[in-house]
Amino acid sequence: MTRKKMRKLSREEAKKRIEELRELINYHNYRYYVLNEPEITDDEYDELFRELVELEEMYPEFVTPDSPTQRVGAPPRKEFGEVRHSIPMLSLQDARNDDELRDFDARIKRVLGLPMNAEIEYVAEPKFDGLSCEIVYVDGKYTLASTRGDGIVGEDVTPNVRTIKTVPMRLLKVQDLPVPERIEVRGEVLMSKKDFQKLNEELARRGEKTFANPRNAAAGSLRQLDPNITAQRRLDFIAWGVGVVEGISFKKHSEVLETLEKFGFKAAKPRRICKNIDEVIEFYHRIESERDSFDYELDGIVVKVNDMELWERLGSTARSPRWAIAGKFKPRQRTTKILDVVYQVGRTGTITPVAVLEPVEVSGVIVSRATLHNFDYVKLMDVRVGDTVVVQRAGDVIPEIVSVVKDKRTGKERPIEPPTRCPVCGADVVKEGAYYRCVNISCPAKLVQALIHFASRRAMDIEGLGGKTAQLLVERGLVKDLADIFYLKKEDILKLPGFADKSAQNLIDGINRAKQDVPLHRFLYAIGIPNVGEFTAKLLADKFGSLEKLMKATYDQLLQIEGIGPEIARSIVEFFKEKRNIEVINKMFKAGLKLKEVRKEEVQKSPFAGKTVVFTGALSSMTRDRAKSYVEMLGGRVSNSVSRKTDLVVVGENPGSKYQKAMRLGIKMVNEDEFLEMLRSAGVEV
């Protein structure tokens, strides 16, 4: 709705529209952040949000604390107030093995006067390693949020929790269930492993102190005096229980979790209703074996008696309830000693110090190396060769040093100095911010990593060219720069161990396919311009439209693009100034590389312009990533889920549930041949 139309609304009409918009936005937040199943595009969401902002600006008397617009923007606070919990938030007793879980089961039966062979129903769920928090809703509206604190009194973090997108500002309406007069929702504030890694990388790049683990990052982010800083960190909230509830009642803990999900929360998953302690132990072992596959750090499982009427009979000790226990996993952090430091060279020449450790087992894996990020981080941590350190491992992330045990220093420890020459090729090293880089574009270490990146799915998408093959190609002298990949012959590949006639031909076919009609943004991402990721590459392609124009762009022209700052602009200019880089790019074109550079007027005329496209099933002519890049290049948007907002579904071999849903909704569908014809009509050679 335009501002002109808004002005024509009566005061009552404006109030009604504001309420409609809030309900719509809360619903779409739930679909996007909780279910991960958006029904509208980002642009459509932004349009709704913008309309609400403008209406609230015109009618400030209708602004309420639970409005989606109030998630951010609160002024910094001088200190946190105190909040007394209606019901204490007690800690849980720990069980560290199967026997201790069985002891817990036996204690419950003794207190309840049941025989030892009786079966008690439990709910088992993951124990997320975050910061416990309580959120109060009055008449369905977000009212107050506090940390666990000492279990009796917590800190008031209401403005900060408001910024978390998975915390509803209003409870969703549930059919046949009244809105509770008051409900105290308890759960865990978390940061995903992926977002934790990004945050630490950014802090390390700026030379600031990093967080030891995702839990510390979540706690540090939530307890910011300025909620705007909290809003910049990607936090999540997963509900695991309730405190005081007025207006509705529950008989079982499993009902609590199901209802919280209906109200719009993420609740602890995967969870299992267990008939007895044996099923609990089975779940305990399964979750521990799968812990690395979770987006969030887990440190165990939580086991609760499902029948809440038994909770009062079982009661609590001063510290913990008798009806629940935490089954803890093996610790991830251990202490060890730094024996030496080696230097790794990345694809952009960045030299990373890596600590060689006295081998130690961390959560079932022998760790002998840990990253030190960069030399500013080394200085900040004051870490030295010979130090005793705390090391941790999280999932597939390279183990890292969390802290130095300085009390164990003997005086024989040696400072870690940055290298003056590249440890691989001996070329000069330059300092750029917190990093040291090798300046030699043909450095073998850079080349292997650059080749792996160049061939990756989201770059040039060369099927069959993985890490081992890249290493062999460089070691055997078959690839001395990135362009050499396009000059390889089948007989060259057959010389490599592990390749037979068919696999060699498949790789050559993959290389030849990768040369044709490469979207400009994928090429820019593939060639490894320092500081240019996928998003920035797309910005550049959209702005300049051709490689030639981008190569001539000045520093000032680049700075005018929203999203590109001085460091990125400098990297781009310096990359295209380097004569050797231009020679390699020209060598690619001589080998038959063809870029698909699309002008804005061509995008507007394409069959995908402004359309939301979903793929289902396997494509035989290209990978899903390449197909997606063509659609995006031609002005379309690719979604992972089918909704009423979907314009087109491309159906490949063995389509899944998306095909059935598209059929039900009557959405237009095309097969692979029809999709290829649409690409050809837009000028793409496939």
- In this structure, what are the phi and psi dihedrals at residue 549, rounded to the nearest 5 degrees? -65, -40
Q: Closest Cα to residue 51, out of 25, 13, 33, 28?
A: 25
CA distance to 401, 448, 484, 510, per residue, from 465 (Å): 33, 11, 13, 9
Question: Coil, strand or helix: which one is 74?
Answer: coil
How far CA 628 is from CA of 75, 310, 510, 596, in Å, comes to: 42, 54, 18, 14
> Is 541 within 8 Å of 561 (Cβ atoms)?
no
Q: Do strands 141-147 and 272-274 pair parallel, antiparallel, or not at all (unpaired)?
A: unpaired
Instruction: Please give the positions annotated as active site.
Output: 127
Residue carrying the six token digits 């209703």: 273
Amino acid at 641: S
Is 591 strand, coil or helix?
Answer: coil
Secondary structure element (H or E) that encloses residue 615, with its range? strand 612-616
482 class by beta-carbon count within 10 Å (0-12 exposed, 13-18 middle, 19+ buried): buried
Contact 377, 434 (CB under 8 A): yes
Sign of the alpha-carbon dihedral angle for 360, 365, 367, 371: negative
Q: How far is CA 457 from CA 322, 462, 514, 624, 625, in A?
A: 52, 7, 10, 9, 7
In this structure, what token pair is assigned to residue 375? 């030399």
Residue with the two structure tokens 């909780």: 34
What proportions of the chain, in percent to the nearest 5, are helix, strand and coil?
40, 20, 35
| Contact present, 28 and 20 (Cβ < 8 Å) | no
